[in-house]
């Protein structure tokens, strides 16, 4: 749990200084595992986004390299991720783009704007914004997005057109077109899915039993996708599956990415801005959630604003190297972490491995069946599904459940951007609504103690001429009227009343609306010969009240403890 | 402070039963005062809204009558009000309406939709929505709207075109056109303003000194507008001011309103919906604020949902009787109250008086100079200006000030609807932001007591292996990360630590995000051999936690009091 004191604008300096041979060994192993896992994923995610396959690999290279320099997490693995690919496809499909080249250039523009927004947010120190997305909303959003991605992959699995703007439409179109499915492709795809699922969930344990170290066994079980790709390429080449109607990846340009310019036409920038903003938010929130979860395990810290800079720079650079929007990927970062990556250099080495593949192995990628990439994506997004958040939030509170359910429903029926927005809005409104009807208890003294408890639940001492009310909420605009009418009702029920004491140990704020309401309550009670008193007001609230004329107007007194008030007024 | 037990769907039944001669006398006097005040105001407000002058009087009649039957306030005076007239004009000017008849029909449609929305909200029991508009935002909104209305009246005062969509444009256009002002009209207008202002502010005291009862003197001082109107009509007729270029009201149709149908074209309904919604909100919030302020003074109660029904019915009926949108007017209701109105029948009598005027006095209204109506409106809206809310909110807190300033700025620069929306949004965001950085204190025991106070401000006992932290805020999504990083930082600064105690007397809520964060904190601390304990958790929060598996996971214990925790762990 030590803070990285030398974390500056270039966090790489803080770890590069003490870099040793042990670090190199650990990072290199992690890099191999990550690269092997990332290559098929990146190709598949490029297809999800609708850009050329090599864009996924270019984005992985630039994302890994640039984040290694500017990011604050030691283990976050940055590159194409499923949800950003989905959002990219949705954003670009709303534009009327004609050629694939235009489409790819627009993807670069989106990546550029996402990067620019993130960098600007970093400069403005807006890292705290991530706090406003509730965890259950994020989980629900990721689950719904994973379902949308899975539906989009059905196109490759069944080789039928699947179209629609929401989950139901996509599903209906899939069902309608199902009779036209290409059975050989489907068979290959299903075998691939079974193979990958077995690798992922059942391989690690037997390997450990065979004497392999746990980490090595887990790493090996993650090589499923690359083994699958190798076998599928061989089969595809050997039996010329392309002629049998199985779609293959086709020609992938060899070599490193050259400098490509995004399309900077003002019209495009304007129409993509509203897509880039949620993309930037999701990129940041997803990445920092993963980064923090991993950092906590090694007692490292994440600097939110540095994280914005790292992700912003990665997206900006990727937009000039023919890539697509990037973020920290969950399973990849976890694999990187578990394989023992010591520093972000691991990401740099992984980028090097991908570069070697781009230089020497692109010819064989030609034969890779697209359905195998779909299988890789399907198995990967399966891990993102978490429906337990529905039951968990239902058990916790109706307001958490509402936010979760609305996020899920809106993401599936309208889209990812609308879904996360609706979820956050629901959570915020639910909070305001809850605090508008605060918990308020009429209290009395537990005999023989100085404690005051709810008269409904405890046998307590009370006095006919004192009404003691404990307010369990900040007093602010949504609940001022509620408090006013509640107090007037309580007072009306008690004819002989002389004193009202508001017990405020849980009043964390008093805004101007509440202050004016308190003044009004005070005046109305005074007209009826009833004094208003306060007790156990917290120091910060006393400070607020002392800055106003409230105390000159207050008909009663302010007591340090409710017990003093009770003894004094009785 | 007695609740009206017989308040049913028709509140009129509750007061009509015991109606006596004394009530009749009081209501009749109040009705005369209100009618005399309302007639020139209603004519002027019709001009503000851009509808024919008689629409103001029709709206006053139906508003007063219907609200008397269905409203829950005994003294609220419902009719055309300045801010709704302003919002009506703004809404209708956005449509491209060609003839005055189309314009008037659209105003009826707006009134109909406002009424329908209010009735629906009443059925859905949405009366609590008014609570979400902070008082300072409302005051600031009314002030800015009054400025806009005043600017719009300059057109009649100077007889020059004043146009523009925001305050600055309106002002610039006034200045630019000033050289073309019609001096006789201006002179008449200024004299009228001075006369009205003197009546309003200086007449009551000398009249009281002359031996008049205070209430009678105040009522007399409110007759300024009608005296002005009478004198101006005589002058205008005697000297044929119309020929001298002074604009007069012109022909006002005589007699009672006949059944008129709003324009129900779907296109119009659709384009007016977004205007009707804020109109309904402002109508309700303004009316209920006035109604509650007056009810409190006489220990009566207002039933928010009944209020929605009363206002909704008034607007619905006015839309079928050639009127315009109506709400409770501030100064009119106050006059009604002070003149001694005992029951809503006062409103009904006032409507009768207006009906008599419509039947017999419309021919003389022909000669009424429009500038006198502008003077009436200007003096009336002057009373709505309250700039003290700026200094008051500045002294109270930056967040209140922000909400007030943004409401003022947006209302003036964009318009009334945007202004109130921006104000409420700012207040809500400010609250979320404030609670995202809660007040948290490391506490120790005040020697010789059971009280725990902030170690920064008090000489207290602490222990090297216990960290006691008091959290002064509900734990929910905006502040979970803040709490997590703060705790980890505090723990990192204290090497010998064994126990962390979270003291929760002011924790009013724990949502699912916060629960998961607490579980995570617990696990991380446990890994470092530190136990997490809770103390002084409130009953409702204990209930939430007991519904989860939190306590089976918690490494430490839950104490009823912080003192027990401290004694036990030391």
**In angstroms, what separates the C-alpha of A1 from chain B's closest C-alpha?**
6
Among A419, A414, A384, residue whose Cα is nearest residue A403: A419
Residue pLDDT, tens place only, B323-336:
999 999 988 898 88
Residue numbers in A near B528 (CB within 8 A): 1, 299
Q: Do B135 and A513 touch (CB under 8 A)?
A: yes
Q: Do B512 and A128 touch (CB under 8 A)?
A: no
DSSP string computed for B15-61: HHTT--HHHHHHHHHHHHHHHHHHHHHHHHHHHHHTS-HHHHHHHHH
Contacts of A517 (CB under 8 A, 6+ apart): A475, A480, A481, A483, A484, B135
Q: How far is CA B439 from the centre of its chain?
A: 31
Report how far apart, in Å, the C-alpha atoms of A305 and of each of A13, A69, A245 are. Answer: 17, 15, 50
DSSP state of B502: E
The residue in chain B having the minimum alpha-carbon distance to the alpha carbon of residue A139 is: B513
Q: Do A397 and B434 touch (CB under 8 A)?
A: no
Among A41, A170, A58, residue whose Cα is nearest residue A107: A58
B397 close contact with A: CB closer than 8 A: yes
pLDDT on residue B323: 92
Contacts of A171 (CB under 8 A, 6+ apart): A151, A164
Interface with A, mutate which of B137, B306, B508, B546 (most A CBs under 10 A):
B508
Beta bridge partners of B558: B534
Q: Which residues of chain A have pLDDT under 50?
A: 1-7
Whether the pTM exceeds 0.95: the reply is: no
Q: Do B478 and A508 touch (CB under 8 A)?
A: no
B243 close contact with A: CB closer than 8 A: no
The whole-chain average pLDDT of chain B stands at: 90
Residue numbers in A near B508 (CB within 8 A): 435, 438-439, 472-474, 506, 508
Q: Domain extents for chain A?
A: 20-405, 406-436, 440-569
Residue numbers in B near A507 (CB within 8 A): 506
Report the interhelical angle of A370-382 vs A21-49 (nearest 10°). Answer: 110
pLDDT on residue A8: 61
Q: Do B396 and A547 touch (CB under 8 A)?
A: yes
Cα–Cα dist B176/B158, whole Å: 12
Cα–Cα dist B304/B501, whole Å: 44
Report how far apart, in Å, the C-alpha atoms of A88 and of each of A271, A352, A353 are. Answer: 13, 26, 26
Average pLDDT over residues B383-407: 92
Neighbours of A237 (CB within 10 A): 15
Cα–Cα dist A263/A106, whole Å: 6
Q: Do B396 and A473 touch (CB under 8 A)?
A: no
pLDDT on residue B4: 44
What torsion do the CA atoms of B494, B496, B501, B503 make, to the nearest 10 degrees? -40
Strand order in the sheet with A452-454: A452-454, A440-445, A466-471, A499-503, A531-535, A558-559
B134 close contact with A: CB closer than 8 A: yes
**In angstroms, what separates the C-alpha of B565 from chain A's closest C-alpha?**
16
Residue numbers in B near A480 (CB within 8 A): 131, 135
Cα–Cα dist B49/B59, whole Å: 12
Contacts of B209 (CB under 8 A, 6+ apart): none
Cα–Cα dist A418/A413, whole Å: 9
Beta bridge partners of A303: none
Cα–Cα dist A4/A550, whole Å: 47
Q: Is A329 exposed, middle or buried (0-12, 13-18, 19+ CB in 10 A)?
A: buried
Among B405, B436, B434, residue whose Cα is nearest residue B419: B405
Q: Do B539 and A457 touch (CB under 8 A)?
A: yes
Cα–Cα dist B387/B140, whole Å: 8
The token pair at B250 is 């012109």
> Which SS3 state, helix, strand or coil, does residue B383 take?
coil
Q: Do A397 and B548 touch (CB under 8 A)?
A: no
Q: Which of residues 404-433 of B touch A (CB under 8 A)?
A: 427-428, 431-432
- Cβ-Cβ pairs closer than 8 A, A with B, add up to 172
Q: Is the confidence at residue B8, as pLDDT, over 80?
A: no
Locus of tokens 């779609």: A247
Cα–Cα dist B277/B44, whole Å: 24
Residue pLDDT, tens place only, A329-351:
988 898 888 888 889 999 999 99
Q: Which of residues 492-531 of B touch A (CB under 8 A)?
A: 492, 505-509, 511-513, 515-517, 520, 524, 528
**In angstroms, what separates the C-alpha of A329 from chain B's closest C-alpha?**
21
**In angstroms, what separates the C-alpha of A544 from chain B's closest C-alpha?**
7
Picking from A1, A457, A547, the nearest residue to B492 by CB comes out as A1
Q: Is B32 exposed, middle or buried (0-12, 13-18, 19+ CB in 10 A)?
A: middle
Residue numbers in A near B475 (CB within 8 A): none
CB A86, CB A93: distance < 8 Å: no
Beta bridge partners of B409: none
Residue pLDDT, tens place only, B236-283:
999 988 888 889 988 888 888 888 888 888 888 988 998 999 999 999
The residue in chain A having the minimum alpha-carbon distance to the alpha carbon of residue B126 is: A433
Q: Do A301 and B538 touch (CB under 8 A)?
A: no
The residue in chain A having the minimum alpha-carbon distance to the alpha carbon of residue B293 is: A520
Cα–Cα dist B348/B333, whole Å: 14
The residue in chain B having the minimum alpha-carbon distance to the alpha carbon of residue A304 is: B481
Picking from A128, A506, A516, the nearest residue to B135 by CB comes out as A516
Name the helix (H) or strand (E) containing A188. helix A183-202
Picking from B134, B478, B506, the nearest residue to A131 by CB comes out as B478
* % residues pLDDT > 70 (chain B): 98
B258 close contact with A: CB closer than 8 A: no
DSSP string computed for A486-497: HHHHHHHT-TT-
Q: How confident is the model at residue B5 (pLDDT cuts 50, 70, 90)?
A: very low
Q: Which listed CATH number (3.90.1570.10, 3.30.750.24, 3.40.50.10300, 3.40.50.720) goes with A440-569?
A: 3.30.750.24
Picking from A132, A477, A506, the nearest residue to B478 by CB comes out as A132
Residue numbers in B near A474 (CB within 8 A): 435, 474, 508
Residue numbers in B near A133 (CB within 8 A): 477
Question: Does ipTM come in above 0.85?
Answer: no
Furthest-apart CA atoms within chain A: distance in Å:
98
**In angstroms, what separates the C-alpha of B393 from chain A's closest C-alpha?**
7
End-to-end CA distance of chain B: 53
pLDDT on residue B383: 86
Question: Which residues in B388-527 belong to E strands, given as ranges?
Answer: 440-445, 452-454, 466-471, 499-503
Interface with B, mutate which of A131, A300, A483 (most B CBs under 10 A):
A131
Average pLDDT over residues B389-395: 91
Q: Which of residues 151-170 of B touch A (CB under 8 A)?
A: none
CB A116, CB A124: distance < 8 Å: no
Report how far apart, in Å, the C-alpha atoms of A258 and of each of A319, A323, A351, B481 are. Answer: 11, 11, 15, 41
């Amino acid at each position: 749990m030590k803070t990285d004191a030398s974390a500056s604008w270039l966090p790489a300096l803080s770890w590069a200084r003490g870099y040793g041979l042990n670090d190199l060994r650990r990072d290199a192993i992690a890099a191999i595992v990550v690269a092997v896992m990332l290559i098929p994923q990146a190709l598949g995610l490029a297809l999800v986004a609708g850009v050329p396959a090599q864009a996924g690999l270019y984005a992985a290279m630039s994302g890994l390299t640039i984040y290694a320099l500017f990011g604050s997490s030691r283990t976050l693995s940055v590159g194409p991720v499923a949800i950003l690919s989905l959002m990219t496809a949705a954003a670009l499909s709303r534009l009327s783009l004609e050629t694939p080249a235009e489409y790819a250039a627009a993807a670069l523009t989106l990546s550029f704007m996402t990067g620019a927004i993130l960098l600007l947010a970093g400069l403005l120190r807006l890292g705290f914004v991530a706090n406003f997305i509730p965890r259950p909303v994020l989980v629900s959003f990721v689950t719904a997005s994973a379902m949308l991605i899975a539906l989009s992959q059905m196109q490759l699995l069944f080789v039928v057109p699947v179209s629609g703007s929401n989950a139901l439409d996509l599903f209906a179109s899939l069902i309608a077109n199902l009779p036209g499915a290409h059975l050989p492709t489907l068979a290959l795809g299903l075998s691939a899915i079974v193979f990958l699922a077995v690798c992922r969930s059942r391989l690690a344990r037997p390997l450990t039993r065979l004497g392999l170290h746990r980490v090595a066994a887990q790493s090996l079980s993650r090589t499923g996708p690359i083994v699958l790709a190798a076998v599928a390429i061989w089969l595809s080449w050997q039996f010329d599956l392309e002629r049998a109607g199985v779609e293959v990846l086709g020609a992938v340009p060899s070599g490193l990415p050259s400098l490509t310019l995004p399309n900077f036409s003002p019209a495009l920038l304007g129409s993509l801005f509203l897509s880039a903003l949620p993309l930037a938010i999701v990129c940041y929130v997803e990445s920092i959630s993963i980064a923090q979860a991993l950092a906590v395990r090694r007692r490292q810290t994440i600097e939110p604003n540095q994280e914005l800079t790292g992700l912003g720079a990665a997206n900006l650079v990727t937009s000039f190297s023919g890539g697509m929007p990037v973020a920290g990927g969950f399973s990849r970062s976890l694999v990187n972490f578990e394989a023992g990556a010591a520093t972000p250099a691991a990401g740099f080495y992984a980028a090097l491995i991908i570069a070697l593949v781009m230089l020497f192995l692109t010819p064989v990628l030609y034969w890779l069946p697209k359905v195998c990439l779909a299988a890789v994506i399907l198995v990967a997004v399966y891990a993102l599904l978490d429906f337990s958040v529905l039951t968990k939030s239902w058990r916790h509170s109706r307001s958490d459940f509402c936010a979760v359910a609305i996020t899920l429903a809106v993401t599936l029926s309208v889209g990812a951007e609308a879904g996360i927005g609706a979820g956050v809005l629901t959570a915020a409104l639910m909070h305001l609504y809850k605090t508008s009807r605060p918990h308020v208890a009429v209290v009395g003294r537990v005999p023989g103690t100085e404690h005051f408890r709810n008269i409904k639940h405890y046998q307590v001492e009370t006095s006919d001429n004192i009404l003691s009310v404990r307010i369990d909420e900040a007093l602010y605009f949504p609940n001022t009227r509620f408090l006013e009418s509640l107090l007037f009702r309580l007072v009306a029920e008690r004819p002989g009343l002389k004193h009202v004491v508001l017990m405020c140990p849980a009043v964390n704020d008093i805004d101007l609306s509440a202050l004016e309401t308190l003044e009004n309550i005070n005046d109305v009670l005074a007209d009826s010969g009833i004094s208003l008193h306060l007790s156990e007001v917290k120091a910060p609230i006393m400070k607020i009240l002392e800055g106003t004329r409230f105390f000159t107007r207050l008909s009663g007194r302010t007591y340090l403890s409710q017990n003093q008030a009770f003894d004094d007024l009785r």
